[in-house]
Amino acid sequence: MVKRNVHATRMELSRLKKRLEIAERGHKLLKDKQDELMRRFIALIKKNKQLRQKMEKELKDTFQDFLIAASVMPPEMLEGAISFPKEKMSLEIFRKNVMGVVVPAMKVKRKLADDPGSIYPYGFVQTAAELDDAIAKLYRIIPVLLELTEVEKACQLMADEIEKTRRRVNALEYRTIPGLEETIKIIRMKLDENERGTITRLIKVKDIINK
Amino acid sequence: MNRADFIQGVVRTRVLEKRLITKDKFEQMINAPDIKDVFKILSGTEYQNHYGKISSFEEYEKVLSAELKRVYTRMREISPEDYIIALAALKYDFHNLKVLLKEKIMDTDFSRLFIPVGVYDFEQIKKQRLPDGLNGTHPELQAIIAEVMKDYETFNDPQRIDILLDRMYADRMYDMAISSGVPLFVEYVKALIDFNNFRTVLRIQKQGEDIKFLGEVLLDHGNIEKEKFLYSFHDNISKFLYKLRNEKTGKALTGGLEAYLKTNRPADLEKKLDDFIMDILEPAKYIHFGPEPLFAYILAKEREIQNLRIILVSKFNQLPPAEIRKRVRKIHA
């Protein structure tokens, strides 16, 4: 931002110097923030990949068990068995601040947490044992699924924040700071020119008086 | 019971038995490259009559349900006594009762979950005011529904609906087998209860439930007393196997448990137990006068449908033939 139409005064110079100082400090801070965000973002991306692989593997196993249960039980019996859940689950959502980015954090709560069998809402005569395994695995996946949701959302929000920070850093680095430096340089040159003009005028006046 | 009354029924059943899918045909289906080829192999069988009901191979379940319904209708015509079919269809009646009660408590429409092969017409029953509306038509169902609903009001636990109805199902099945006076039926029911109790012990241990809960879910009337299972709950596997070895169904149970221990897959245990049930029905092949062949045919047909479901589900999910072969049950051939 080259400001050529500013008043070339000492007051303006000192105001711009102050602005330059703030801009340089802001640039350094934002650059640090961007670096830290990138570092955390890369860590989150790695975690996201691990969680997704883990979840996909566990879901595959669960579907395998469901598949076996579905193949040995008529579909009406399978659906009837799980149609009326015994357990009630609730989800608590919190906010977490990561480098100024508000990301979600979730926690699942079971109403019948003390009863290990509360996730199985059916009897034992008309259901296959694989159904127990499938349900148990599905229940075990829930925390992983929630963590993955958290991490994916955090990645998304952090990517937005990195983008915003990058724009700010670039704006400061390539527009604001060079613009201010140039304006300061122009004002300084103008002030120097004025000063030289004043000195020359004074010498001239002194010469006239001496003559 | 006059065994001579079953002569015609047995002869007709023997004809139907010839139409059961053979082991070779099952093997062809297992090796078939996809579900389309399984349907091609099935086209020479009784299942072909239901092909018109489906528009794509994914709707295979409609073919299986239609065939099950057809078998029960045909056997009701053939059988001179109703109790034979009622004994085989009892599981569907109790399944339908579970659906009916869940539907009523949850105030949701579960019409698609009824299996219309039981003795009772649940589409009619669900139109009645429950349980009092059944007083004149089905007092036995009224008593069951009233008891389960009362229990639900007290404990508010949906699992207890299934547990109570499972226990009533076992009691009813046992009473029917005893009143039929057919030793094979009694042996079948007792073995079924033993196997169920055995599976339940293993499932409860895996679920992390306690012995008190096990006491509530174990069924009466098996060859092995309930107490024996309860006392063995905390035993290690080898002690459990030792205790079971002299029981009537001990050989099957120990065989099943060994298979389970090898792979840690409950499917292997269930397959062994299902195969043993077919062995119990084996003598029905050599009985020419009596209700046994009719009952054995229904169960054989159910087993055939179960095997087809295993093959079709597996083909649909592209499982390799070796995996399918492990799951397919023994047939009544």
Residue B132, pLDDT above cutoff 80? no
Residue B34 and residue B26 in contact, taking contact as beta carbons nearer than 8 Å: no
A182 — contact with chain B (CB < 8 Å)?
Answer: no
Q: How far is it, in rounded angstroms, from Cα B65 to Cα B312?
A: 14
Residue B333 banded pLDDT, cuts 50, 70, 90: low
Residue A1, pLDDT above cutoff 60? no
Phi and psi at residue A89, to the nearest 5°: -120, 140
Residue A3, pLDDT above cutoff 60? no
Q: Is A148 helix (H, G, I), strand (E, B) or coil?
A: helix
Task: Give the per-residue pLDDT at A185.
Answer: 94
* B113, B157, B219: residue with CB nearest A80: B113
Residue B223 and residue B249 in contact, taking contact as beta carbons nearer than 8 Å: yes
In angstroms, the separation between the Cα of residue A62 and the nearest Cα of chain B is 13
Average pLDDT, integer, range B75-99? 94
Residue A28 banded pLDDT, cuts 50, 70, 90: very high
Q: How far is it, in rounded angstroms, from Cα B263 to Cα B175?
A: 37
In angstroms, the separation between the Cα of residue A109 and the nearest Cα of chain B is 19
Q: Give the H or E element holding residue A76.
A: helix A75-81
* A122, A126, A130: residue with CB nearest B159: A122
Comparing alpha-carbon positions, the chain A residue that sits nearest to B162 is A123
Strands A101-110 and A89-98: antiparallel
A124 — contact with chain B (CB < 8 Å)?
Answer: yes
Residue B130 and residue A92 in contact, taking contact as beta carbons nearer than 8 Å: no
Q: How many CA atoms lie within 13 A of B140 on its CB side?
A: 7
Instruction: Indicate the Cα dihedral angle B190, B195, B196, B198, nearest 10°.
Output: 120
Q: How far is it, in rounded angstroms, from Cα B39 to Cα B51?
A: 9
Residue B73 and residue B64 in contact, taking contact as beta carbons nearer than 8 Å: no
User: pLDDT tens for residues B208-256?
Assistant: 888 999 999 999 999 999 998 898 888 887 788 788 888 888 888 888 8
Q: How far is it, in rounded angstroms, from Cα B286 to Cα B279?
A: 13
For residue B24, what are its two tokens?
Answer: 């070779």
User: pLDDT tens for residues A4-23?
Assistant: 578 889 999 999 999 999 99
A154 — contact with chain B (CB < 8 Å)?
Answer: no
For residue B211, what are its two tokens?
Answer: 């012995």
Task: Give the per-residue pLDDT at A2.
Answer: 56
Task: Give the per-residue pLDDT at B288.
Answer: 86
Query: Average pLDDT, whole number, for chain B?
Result: 90
User: pLDDT tens for residues A36-47?
Assistant: 999 999 999 999
Q: How far is it, in rounded angstroms, from Cα B197 to Cα A88?
A: 28
Task: Give the per-residue pLDDT at B139.
Answer: 83
Amino acid at residue number B280: I
Residue B136, pLDDT above cutoff 80? no
DSSP assignment of B117-163 equals TSSS-HHHHTTSPTTGGGTTT-HHHHHHHHHHHHHHHHH--HHHHHH
Residue B74 banded pLDDT, cuts 50, 70, 90: very high
Task: Give the per-residue pLDDT at A4.
Answer: 59
User: Comparing A53-57, A185-189, B117-121, which segment has the lowest mean pLDDT?
Assistant: B117-121
**Residues in chain B closer than 8 A to A111 (CB atoms):** none
Q: How many CB atoms lie within 10 A of CB A36?
A: 13
Average pLDDT, integer, range B242-271? 85
User: pLDDT tens for residues A97-150?
Assistant: 988 899 999 988 888 888 888 889 999 999 998 899 899 998 889 889 999 999
* A72, A121, A124: residue with CB nearest B166: A124
The residues in A 8-47 lying below 8 A from B, measured between CB atoms, are none
Residue B127, pLDDT above cutoff 90? no
Give CA angle at A64 (B240, A59), nearest 5°: 110
**Residues in chain B closer than 8 A to A76 (CB atoms):** 95, 99, 112-115
Name the DSSP class of A83. S
Contact B309 A72 (CB under 8 A): yes
Q: How many CA atoms lie within 13 A of B27 on its CB side?
A: 3
Residue B137 banded pLDDT, cuts 50, 70, 90: confident
Query: Average pLDDT, whole number, for chain A?
Result: 91
**Residues in chain B closer than 8 A to A133 (CB atoms):** 206, 266
Task: Give the per-residue pLDDT at B331.
Answer: 82
* B102, B270, B313: residue with CB nearest A129: B270
Instruction: Indicate the Cα dihedral angle B81, B248, B195, A72, nearest 10°.
Output: -70
Contact B207 A116 (CB under 8 A): yes
For residue A181, what are its two tokens?
Answer: 């430096």
Comparing alpha-carbon positions, the chain A residue that sits nearest to B308 is A71
Of B92, B56, B98, B276, the closest CA to residue B188 belongs to B276
ipTM: 0.91
**Residues in chain A closer than 8 A to B313 (CB atoms):** 67, 70-71
